[in-house]
Structure 1
Amino acid sequence: MTGAVPLNYQDVVTADLSSFTDVAKAWKKMGERFGELKADYARHVQGVLTNGNWQGEAFNAQQNNAAATAFEFGAAKAEALAIASLLTDAQTELTRLQKAVKELVADAEKKDYKVDSAGKATYVGYDNLSPQEKYAFQHDPDHTRLLADAREKAQGWTDQIAKAVKAVDDTDQSVKRALSRATNDVSMDGIGIGGFNTRAESDLAKAGKPDPEPGKKNGWVAETDSEASGPGVGTDTSGPNVGKGKLAEAEAHADLGRAKAEGTLTKDSTKLAGEAEAYAGAKASAAAGITNEGAEGEAKGFAGGEASASGTADAGPTGVYGRAETMAGAEAGVNVGAGTNGAVLSAEAFAGAKAGASAGADVGGLGVGVTAEGWAGPGAEVSLAGKDANGVWHFGPKVGLSPGLGGAVGFEFTVDPGKVVDTVGDAAGAVGDAASWAGDGIGSLF
């Protein structure tokens, strides 16, 4: 009954499912025969050659090939028996659902509803009225309402029949998937991919499950986003804004192009995230501000091309992270600040090309990592602390110097305030639950 297009009403009510029994028996018999062949092969081929009279590289090669052949006999048995079981389950389930469709039609016909070849129900009870009864019905004050009621009930029967037909088609498609998967060997056992499937699933409910929805694989939920722009030029100035503590801010850019992509994979408390970004052009900015949290000022400029990629893997409060960056061009910048969030100090100047990588581990929002960069060109850099675009603070010295060839090394201690708060909240909740359970347990003793 499998097909590329959905089954219709006629397909369902006219299908002959009796052949499933014979086909299932044939597959079962074939599986048992493969088991006998494996036993015969092991006894009359593998066993005969292991008497010690033949040794060496040729013997070892032959035994490896013989072991693969014996494995495939066993895999063929497992695959054939699985298919036999799937066909038996398919006949049972499809027969039950086909019977449900036919019984539904029979019930409708008993109530004077005729079902056509497309599964559409129409009320024909009025056709059986005598001429006098038809005249009385046509002049009945409720004539219009009774006709509408009959049409509504007919549509109800039509919808029920369509739903029952769809249940048959869903199972039919499930059988198709199960049989296809049973004959698909993707393991390296035996002769490798493409042999018989020793892992064939014999349970139709498990083997026939629909494929994961787009963006969701085996429970993993995927989310992606990307953007690109350029070429373009522009400037932007703002301030002063005393209410927000911003004294002044200015930015100018001449972009050849920029692109950014990010994505996440999430399953329960496990999350994988990655981000990549590239830019080519020139940009410069300066800003200064004073708020109740402190004062900060920065100025930076860049001309050339740069790209970066980063990734994190978190399982609950524990995770690891890594970053990689590369740049060719010239850059300079300084960032100085102090306040309730701590002190910020970083300065750099460089011309040439450089590449770097960082890696570390994070527990509950507190992380420790190392960073290293290789430079080809004159430059210098020093930093003590800073906050990235995601609000994560990075503490730790980083020093670099390059007259021509050199680089920078350092370590970092990171603090993600939002993650720390979440971790503390989860811990507090767990402590509260534990205390409640302990109290309930103690109370039950008395």
Structure 2
Amino acid sequence: MDRLPTELLLTIGRHTQQDRCPQSTIYSLSLCCRRFHNIFSPLMYSYISSDTFSEKFIYFIMRIWREPELARQVHRLDLCWSQCDQHDPLEVDQEMGCFIDAALNEIFSAKERKQCKEWKLHLRGEEGLCAEAWLGLLLVRLPNLRMIQFGHEVTDLISDVLLKAAMRQQPFQHGVPFPHLQEVRACVAWGASWIDSDFLTPFFQFPAVRRLYGTAIGEKRPDNSLKKLIHRVPCPVRDIVIEEGYWCRGMLDWLALCTDLERISIGVEIQADEYEIEEDEAFNAATFRVAILPFAKTLKSLRIWYGDSYNDHLEETEAMEAPFGSLRAFTALQQLTFRHDHLLRLSCDGTTHPDLEPLSDSLPQSLVSLEITDIVIDSHIELRSELSKLLLSRSSFPHLRQIRLCISNEDEDELDHMFNGLKLECQTVGINFIIGQIRV
């Protein structure tokens, strides 16, 4: 091992972290010898997770504040917390009390006394250890973050820090906040919870954020004007993936902040405790199309799909989905996943509207892969006819390589039989034709 070059040993250490091995593995490597200690010690702090938050973690946060060089080593942060009243009260000693006062004086101005007082109550934990407040302090002190992941249940405090950073307010007034942060993930750790989309909006103001991924993201307040409170700066976000969007209008507030999106993937679903959806909480294809038109020259991948519960809601309410409209203007679009009724205007009896623009005229010529979900069986003849016309216009779609139809398990064999002729047509012109399940 002594003969291995330092670069190779560092690669081994980073690979261990990527495999989500415990940090204790890196710690053990650092104890092997003096050379290993020098190589692996910095990696011990490159990834921090709050899954096992305790009073011991608080002293680590205090150390991060006091040692800027140690804080600069943190590249990935996983934050997860629950309500304060689920924990025992915190015993605050003199050292901790002095630290709380000094930290809050740095974060809040004299005009923010109310917020400062609220934070102090939470940090002192008289009603229960408040992990969120302490993790908020940690977040303030990490300038070299590359990736951050949230899995919280409720939030009252960290949103204050994020909004301050987005607005370049104290303590972020002297420099660019989180200049290296590239990816933000919000993955709810508890079954029936969700993360409000407003909580993540400030990340669209940081200079290096390229990708935002989330599960169980709720757009509960359609009239929210948070985006107006944030400085309008060129938005670096290129990639938005939401696997479950509750009360989903299509992340319209986020789209209004973006400038050069390349990928959008949104799964529209119903939150577990929700029984009714108001009109302004539902996804609207036509409204969404207007929102993404500014990205007609940059958008490469577009996926809009509905979850099982949302589809059941549509069936129960007998709601008719309006088509999306022409995509011809999206000249960079390569990957497209759409519902059947978003592509073709269907009547109540399942047939296609007679004045509909053909798919061969409404799809972009840059298309490489077309995936159609939630096939309406009663309208399969019209869909097959439209796809056949698309194949006849093969010269207008020189990059098209795959057509995929997605449907539930029980209808897969039936659909395969219905589109057998189309499969042969695809093979003739060199296009891969697949019938299967939607890929989340």
Task: Give TM-score scaled by structure 2 length.
Answer: 0.21
Task: Give TM-score scaled by structure 1 length.
Answer: 0.20
